[in-house]
Structure 1
C-alpha cells in the first residue's frame, strides 16, 4: 500500500512536469525526451518511441526513438505509412486504438511473415496520440525484449493516461509553432518586398493578437488538463484501494491497522481531488474572462485590481519555470468603464517583453505593476529589473517591426501594439524609461471611463 502511495505521488509529479514543459513551449523532440525521462521513473521504459503523422502525404516521422536492439531512424525522414496488417505502428495510428501484444501474439498476427520492420518484442504497448477531433497525431510506444519486464494492467492504464497528456501537449506545441512561424514568415516577406506596408502592417497586428489569444487557449488546455489528470489518477487509485479493502473484509482478514491505512488513503485522495478541482475551477473562470475580452471590442465595467489578477493567472504558463516574481500594488475600488481586452493585451505585451528581452534564461527578476486613480485618470506603472536597453534601442521601441530577436521568432510588433492600444482604444499616453542594467519602466495614463467617448463617436 505504501508503494502504491509512492507511485501515485510520482505519477502526479510527472503529470505536473509534463504540463509545465508543454506550456513552456520549445522543441517537440526535447519535450518528448523529457517525457521519456519522467516515464522511466514509474515503469520500465528502456525501449520507447514516438512517431508523428504527416497528414499531407500519409507518412510518419519517428521523431524520438530509443531502443536496445534496433537502430535509430532519421527523425526527419518521412516513412510511408503501411497498412494496418503490415505494421503494429500503422495499426494503432489508423485504427486510433491502443494495442497490447506479446511476442506470440505478434507472430500470430504476421501469419508466418514479419509484422512490422523492427525486432519482435516480448511485450509491446502502443497508444494513439489523438487531437480534439479524434484524428491521429501519431503513436507513442513502449516495449520490452525481456520476459522479466511485462506491462501490468496498471502500467497500461498509466501509459494511456500519459498518451492523453502528450496528445494535448503536442497540439499546443504544434499550434504555437504554426502561429509564431506564420507571423515570422509574414514579417520576413514584408521586409523583402516592402510593398503595401500599411495594409500588411494592419494584417500583422491582427495576426499577432490572434497568436496571443491562441497561446492563451493552448495554455488553458495544458493548465486545466494537469489538475484533471491528477484527479483521474487519484480516483482510479481510490477505486482500486476500495476493491482491495472489500476483498480483505470479505475474507475476514481486515485489521484495525489496515482499516486505518485505508482511511488515510481515502483522506489523501479526497484532499488531492478537492485541491485540484478548485484549481481547475479558478483557472476556467480567469481564462474564460480574459479570452472573451481579448476577442471583443466592447466596453464594460471592471475592477482593475481583480482584472489584473485574472490576466496574470492566464499568463502563469509563461511564468512557470522562470525565477521571475510578479508583484501587484493596486489600490482598491478602481472601477473602470473601458476596454478590458485592451488592458489585457497591454499587460500581456509588457510582461512578455520582460520575459523575452529583460531576463535571460534562468535569470531571477522582479516585475512590479502599480495601479492608482488620480481624479478620473488611471495611473498604471510597470517596471522590471531586467537587462534594460540603451538610448538607441529605446528610441525605436514602439516602431513597427523593430526587434532585437529577429532570428528567434520576434515579430517586432508587441510594443507597437501596446502603444496603439494605450493611445487609441484606452485614449491615454505611454512613456518609457530604461538604461542598460537598469530594467524597463512603462508609465501609462488613461481615462477611467471611455463610455462617453464611444457614445459620442
Structure 2
C-alpha cells in the first residue's frame, strides 16, 4: 500500500511526502496492513509510548503498547469490520465518528502507559482502501486527553463538593430556621409572661381598691342600719354615711373605668386579622376620620394637626387597625408630649416607596429620652405611671404594625427634639396562612 512504484518517479515523491507528513504529525498514528502487521509507527508514537518504531514495524505486537495480554487494538477491529469484537473489547464506550465517514472513536483509560504514566486516550480508527475500493489496512490516530479528563474529574469533584456543601448549608439553614422559631417562641412566651404579669399588676390596684371600698361601705351600711333599727341614728351620722357613699361610689367608678380601659387594651392586643375586614383604603381620608373624632380633645389641649398625606394613596389593607394606630398615637401625644394647656403641633406624612408606604408621625412635644428607645414598645412601659397611662398604647401599635398589617416600625431621634415615628407598611397587607396561624405572607 505504501510501497512506491520504482517505474513511477511521481509515486516515489508522493510516498516521501506522505511519510514526512505522517512522521511530523504531532499525534501518534499507527497504520496496519491487511495482515494486521504494523506499517507505520510515527515519531509521535515513539515519544508518547516510549517504544521505537523498529521494535514494532512488520510485527503484530501493536497490542503490547496498550494491553498486558494479546488482543486487538481498535484498528484491528475496524479492519475486520467485526461488530461483536467492538462490543467485546469496547463495551459501551465506542461510537461512530461524527467527523469521518466509516470511522469509529473511543475514549479509554490506560494505566502505566508509556514512561509508566497513567493516560486517558481518545483514538479514532478507519479502514483504508486502494483505488479499486478494496480494503488494504487500517489507520488509527491517538490523542492524549489526560489533562482534559483530569480537569473534568476535578470539576466533577468540585461539583460534588459544592453539592455536599450546599446540602450541609441547607441543613444548617433548616437548623437555623428551627432555632429562630424556638427563639421566637421563647420570646413570645417571655413577652406573654411579662404581659400577664403587667396585666395582673395593673388590675390588682383598681380591683384591690374596689374590694377595700366595698368592704368599708358594707361596714358603714351595717352600722347605719343598726342605728336606724335602734332609733339612735342622728342627722349628722346619716350625712356622714351619705358623704362616704358618694366618695366610695366615685372611687369605685374610677377604678372600674381603669379596669375596663385595661381590658379594652388587652382586647386590642389579642385582635387578629380575621376580626378585620379587608378593603381598598384611601389613607388620607382614613386619617381624616380619626382627626375628626379627636377634634374636641385636640382643641382642649391646643394641639394643631397637619395631615400632609398626599391624596390618592391607596392600600389593600385593614382600615380599623390603621385608625387604631393613629388614635393611639394622638392619645399618646396628648398625654405624654405636652404639659397641661401647652400648645403643640402634630405632623402626619406619607410617601410611596416601590410597593410600600412609609408613614412619618411627628410631634413637637418633649420627646423620649434615647435611653428609653429600647423600652417604648414594651407592654406597660409609661412615663406617666399613676397619672392615667397604662403603658399599652405603643405596645398595641407595635403589634398591629408588625402583625396584621405586616409592616415595620422604628422610633427616630429628631435633631430639633420632639417625637418621630416611622411606620412602613406594604401596599397590600399580608394574608394569614391559616385562621389560627400568626405568621403571614405577602
Give the shorter-chain TM-score range: 0.3 to 0.5
Q: Which structure has greater helix proportion?
A: 1
TM-score normalised to the size of structure 1?
0.39
- Structure (1 or 2) with the larger CA radius of gyration: 2
TM-score (norm 2): 0.40
